[in-house]
Structure 1
Amino acid sequence: MKINVLNQVLEVKKGDTLEEIAKQAKITDAVVATVDGRLRELTYKLEKDNSNVEFLNLSNTDAVRVYEASLRYLFAMATYNLYPEIKLRFNYSISRSILAVFEGYENVPEEKLENIINEVNRLVSLDLEIKRVKTTKDKAIEIYEKLNLKDKIDILKYREENNVNLYQTADYMNYMYSYMVPKTGHLKKFKAFNYHPGFIIQFPRTEFQGNIPPFVDAPTFGKALRNVAKWGKIIGGNTIDNINRYTETRDSQVDFVNLCETKLNNQLSELGKRIEENKEDIRLIAVAGPSSSGKTTFTNRLRIELLSLGIRPVMISMDDYYFRKEDAPKDKDGKPDLEHVEALDIELFNKDMLSLIQGNAVTLPKFNFHTGKREAGKTIKVDKNSPILIEGIHALNDRLTSLIPKHQKFRIYISPQTQLHIDNHNPISITDLRLLRRAVRDQKYRNSPVTSTMDMWPSVRRGEFKWIYPYQEEADFVFNSELTYEISVLKQFAMPHLLAIPAEDRHYITANRLVKFLKYFREIDPELVPNNSILKEFIGGSPFHD
């Protein structure tokens, strides 16, 4: 049987696994593979002649996801082997890592962590098989009861299918809502160390070419994540099962929606007070955050919050300071890189902001997106009670406001931060939440298919890593724009489009990953979403959206 690998034809036996084929092709770093565009585990047996096979290593995003899920599986197994009474919980954390905690423990004892790391290394050295097995829901419940995994039993009641996939290594079984590496020996790359209130697990990252990035502590961002954990206690947990309990009656839905919206209102109130306390000094308020964080709605609501405190902010669009497209820096493909900071007229922006703060009249530019050129805009003057409010990808980058003294700037980082889980071992990615928001918004406002959103998402992510995340710790305030009820609303907008993506489409991999957790959420009526909610920016009906 002939197949295509690395642009060459390879002769293989029918029924060979992808792992066997990788060895034959002398590929030693494969984590997972695609067969005719469909993601497959290395245990997959090839039966079709002339298949196109691409082996993916840790420079690939899908491979890293498989590796990270497999690593969680391995740490859960090691913890169970040594301490079966301990409930281990994984959270996504700072510095692109996993924070593992012991439920009921204020911290993880150093000795226990050292033993777990040693057990992980032992399991890696044994190169044990991680085998996928199919069973029934009833049998899976029996297995989870034996392993003291009640949270996994709770989620199974929302599963419509009777068949359940599990992964087994020796006598241990678990499921991580992901494909897995074939053997424990593949999981040599990781770092683990104590970090209150648990321990950090670092893994290879795509943006670091498959290497483990340096750990960069982020106390400001870490504080925001601790507040997320407190919020989980307030609502009685942050698993899908706990959220679904709020959907059982309309009254409970109303309470849940308003509870979540009040959390955001309280943050806005706190932020407004912080700015009011320093209003004599603050002349410029800068807002930045990754895609689909709700920046448009937030900035408008912040403006209204400040107006209620007698502060009259003036909103200025950074987009008006773009150079012509042909004058922008070029990306690696030679195309204009419009996300680059130097695609903006930094010198003019600095000059105009300083001049306004000094009380001078300034004629602002206005970028004409039809002609691709800047034109003269309105002339404005601001007084000392009117701070300038800017929002954009580079708003926290000091290069744009280097002429303005630090004490006159107040920087806000906005992003949805969640510790939402399918179960204790399976946190839901914040990035996936933002992708869902973006896909629903693009469909609603641009009539753009979800596959188009997925097409440009890698480019968006590259821009975030380069231009946003390095500056998040510079923020004076981290605003968490997550609404815990939102996936229960977004589901009904996103699911029809995700399910319509055919299996042969290259975006099926991403769509299937999203569907895997979305299907467990019960729906909340979109009519219950308040008019000024950040969620309206994505599902439609926002008074702040053009």
Structure 2
Amino acid sequence: MINVTVNEKKFEYSVPPTLEEVAKDAKLNNVLAANVNSRLRELNYVLSDDADVKFLGYDSSDAVRIYETTLRYVIAKAVHNLYPKSEVKFSYSVSRSILAEIDGLGFPLDDDILLAIKTEVDRIIKTNYKIERRRISVGEATRLYTKFNMHDKVEILKYREEEYVNLYECDGYYNYMFGYMLPETGYLKTYNMFLYNPGFLIQYPRAEFGGKIPEFIDEPVFGGALRKVAQWGQTIGGNTIPAINSFSKTHHDLVDFVNMCETKHNQQLVELGKLISDNKDDIRLIAIAGPSSSGKTTFSNRLRIELKTRGIKPIMISIDDYYLGKHQAPKNPDGSPDLEHINALDVELFNKDMAALIRGEEVELPKFNFSKNAREKGKKVKVKHDEIIIIEGIHALNSLLTKSIPNHQKFKVYIAPQTQLHIDNQNPISITDLRLLRRLVRDQKYRNSSAEDTFDMWPSVRKGEFKWIYPYQKEANYVFNSELTYEFGVLKKHAVKQLRSVESSSKHFITANRLLKFLKYFKDIEDELVPVNSLLREFIGGSSFAE
């Protein structure tokens, strides 16, 4: 007899049940996956032992990731059914959506073609085909991928060490999306598709929006940055892991590739420096913000140097010194201090000081002593006519922080890694996963934190980003793409050992395993090839800017 506990209610089974069957017995709706004894499982997982089960729905990021993965699978199947000689490519895009592009179509993508694809997707969903995992040899997978015109997937198999591979089969169609799947196509309840050059955008429910599809907001500055990313992919001859690995064939090619990526950062700094220099008579304050592990510290230092070469002397002012302290900070629902809230800062004093500095007055800045949780007197500062203030922090783009300063005197920079790197054409690598890997490596290097420690903190970090950073990115005058395409090969050596240390019984095992699934395909790149002023040094150590 197998005993299954769901929400403190017990169910008994004489035959091992699937999670899907348990959910039906428990009369639960809108479930997408389950946590079984602290492990994430697909709904077609069979329970062979007693288990505590927590079903996950649209409010779970892990479950919604399964929904998104399945949706990509079904759309790829629909395109293959209609246009078998074509190839669909997915990339993460603006406004938390997916951009789909179709190569080899033979004619322009228009509303009629998109309607045909959507009609076929809806048919597949309505038919409610089963989606089943198959374990086959790498050779057989190569045959199937060739049959389905997935030559990019054949290339990635060349870097696989195991002799077998998991694929998912649905109505005679085989594919693998490097993630868990829903058991049947009918679980896909809602999505949006609409034309968006050079392809079409796909929207799906998001956990951070309570399982609803967020409103689409076209962000020209952000979208422009992503278009440059696509152009970069063409420059380097492809943006899949096999294409990146091809640079490792010779030491000369690898050195060139690393320097190409670093030069891309240099070019952005030159472009940004010129924009600021051309308007130096107006701009008095540069505000820099971005999500965690975007490389803000190194970027700020490199921008400082870029401006100095143009005769502009930057003054770095820390927003952290304006903290009010734990006791005066707003409270979270549980009563703990919300140190990420903008009102955890002395906004009035910050505005008063910045306005005074811009007027040319001398100001005694505060200095926050974090060990004493108290603000102390800091240094006296006066900004000259050839000097400019740089501030960097979570709230830097929020107009409330600098409300006393006219907009024409502010230049706002949003920094984040924007990557269109793919495992293969249908499996884009998440920008969030890149930042998580950076943080994982940095936390271990500088804080001696385990992978589990970093994973424990990540949901809180993400919550703060959605509340205090992403809503203000549209106010940026410039988006700096801090991605370095070669960095996965460097981060891999530092991260793999930590990820493998996460026990299979851990609640974070699925995250660690998911990162390992694609990270293992990258060829190693030695730290020695990373320049000392590289933004990547902020995470692996050895930065020339380190104090």
Which TM bucket (shorter chain)?
over 0.9
Q: Percent of aligned pairs with the same residue?
A: 59
Counterpart for residue 290 of structure 2: 289
Mapped partners of 2:523, 2:55: distance in 1: 37
Conservation of the 8 A alpha-carbon contact between 2:85 and 2:104: no
Cα offsets for 1:246-290 (capped at 9, x unmatched): 112221111111010000000001110110000000000000000
Give the unaligned 5+ runs of structure 1.
Answer: none
Cα offsets for 1:456-514 (capped at 9, x unmatched): 10000011011101111110000000000000000000001101111001110100010
Residues 429-468 of structure 1: pairs in structure 2 closer than 5 A: 429-468=430-469
Conservation of the 8 A alpha-carbon contact between 2:441 and 2:495: yes
1:53 paired with 2:53, answer yes
Letter matched to residue 87 of structure 1: E
Counterpart for residue 258 of structure 2: 257
Change (3 A) 1:440 1:97: same
Conservation of the 8 A alpha-carbon contact between 1:107 and 1:196: no
Counterpart for residue 313 of structure 1: 314
1:14 paired with 2:15, answer yes
Letter matched to residue 272 of structure 1: G
**What is the CA RMSD across the aligned residues, in angstroms?**
1.0
Q: Could you tell me the TM-score, scaled by structure 2's length?
A: 0.99
Cα offsets for 1:73-118 (capped at 9, x unmatched): 0000001001112211000001111011113679622111100001
Mapped partners of 2:108, 2:306: distance in 1: 39
Letter matched to residue 102 of structure 1: I
Q: Counterpart of 2:54 in 1: which secondary structure? A: strand
Counterpart for residue 241 of structure 1: 242
1:80 paired with 2:75, answer no
Change (3 A) 1:282 1:107: farther
1:97 paired with 2:102, answer no
Q: Could you tell me the TM-score, scaled by structure 1's length?
A: 0.99
In the TM superposition, residue 335 of structure 1 has moved relative to its aligned partner by: 0.8
Mapped partners of 1:111, 1:303: distance in 2: 51
Conservation of the 8 A alpha-carbon contact between 2:482 and 2:535: yes
Residues 100-499 of structure 1: pairs in structure 2 closer than 5 A: 100-103=100-103, 108-499=109-500
In the TM superposition, residue 195 of structure 1 has moved relative to its aligned partner by: 0.9
Letter matched to residue 25 of structure 2: Q
Cα offsets for 1:380-428 (capped at 9, x unmatched): 1001211100000000000011111100000000000000000011000
Letter matched to residue 198 of structure 1: G
Mapped partners of 1:108, 1:410: distance in 2: 39
In the TM superposition, residue 379 of structure 1 has moved relative to its aligned partner by: 0.6
Conservation of the 8 A alpha-carbon contact between 1:229 and 1:419: yes
Mapped partners of 2:472, 2:386: distance in 1: 27
Which has the higher mean CA deviation after the structures are superposed, 100-109 or 176-185?
A: 100-109
Q: Counterpart of 2:313 in 1: which secondary structure? A: coil
Conservation of the 8 A alpha-carbon contact between 2:128 and 2:185: yes
Counterpart for residue 68 of structure 1: 68
Letter matched to residue 275 of structure 2: R
Mapped partners of 1:362, 1:181: distance in 2: 60
Conservation of the 8 A alpha-carbon contact between 2:493 and 2:524: yes
Mapped partners of 2:483, 2:3: distance in 1: 50
Show structure 1 runs of 4+ deviating over 6 A.
none
Cα offsets for 1:225-244 (capped at 9, x unmatched): 00000000000000000000
Cα offsets for 1:12-50 (capped at 9, x unmatched): 33311100010000111111112111111111111102x
